[in-house]
Amino acid sequence: MSYTINSNRLTILNIRQLHRLIFYVRANKLSIMFSSIWTIGTVSNRRREVLSIL
């Protein structure tokens, strides 16, 4: 009886950890995407500035 309760608790904890892991992975992917978009935008802006100077 106690063993099944413990195993259930463990599975619940594992599921929570999995959800947290998935959330972190998604957040990292989003941050990487945003940073790459931001860097591309800044590079294009710099290019425009250079072109305008030229």
The rounded distance, in Å, linking the Cα atoms of 54 and 48 is 10
Instruction: Tell me the pLDDT tens digit for each residue of 13-49.
Output: 888 898 999 999 999 899 888 888 888 888 888 888 7
Residue 10, pLDDT score: 78
Question: How many degrees, rounded to 5, is the angle at CA 15 between CA 13 and CA 18?
Answer: 110
Does pLDDT of 2 surpass 70?
no
pLDDT score at 26:
92
pLDDT at residue 1 above 60?
no
Q: How far apart are CA 6 and CA 32, in angstroms?
A: 38
- Domain range annotation of the chain: 22-54
Q: Where would I find the H helices in 1-54? A: 2-53
Asked if pLDDT for residue 3 goes beyond 70, the answer is no
Tokens describing residue 30: 């989003």
